[in-house]
Amino acid sequence: MIQIQFGGCEGNGREVDEMEETEAITLSVKKVAALIGVSTATVYTMARLGEIPHKKVRSRILFHRPTIEQWLMNEPVHS
């Protein structure tokens, strides 16, 4: 565990798991849009059409970071 101080107050630290400090394993629509340089509407359309790997969890569309990174490396380059 790591001790973090908030607001500059002594003795008001909070312990957090190291997992919270690492990058999330899933990405939101907004983060994927920024990563690939398109609008969120485009990402929603790509997900609906099955053009980008994703998972739907209740009402949220999530993207597995390693899968998206692999998908990006395998996409053909258009000139």
- If we measure between CA atoms, which residue out of 17, 16, 30, 38 comes closest to residue 63? 30
For residue 56, tell me if it sits in a domain.
Answer: yes
Residues written for the chain: 79
Domain extent, residue 58, equals: 23-79
Burial class for 34, CB neighbours closer than 10 Å (0-12, 13-18, 19+): middle
User: For residue 23, what pLDDT is reported?
Assistant: 75
For residue 75, tell me if it sits in a domain.
Answer: yes
pLDDT at 57 over 90: yes
- Token pair 């999530």 is found at 62
Q: Tell me how crowded residue 61 is: count the other CB atoms within 10 A of its CB.
A: 18
| Average pLDDT over every residue of 33-53 | 96
Q: Which two tokens stand for residue 36?
A: 């690939």
Report yes or no on whether pTM surpasses 0.75.
Answer: no
Domain count for the chain: 1
For residue 61, tell me if it sits in a domain.
Answer: yes
For residue 13, tell me if it sits in a domain.
Answer: no
For residue 6, tell me if it sits in a domain.
Answer: no
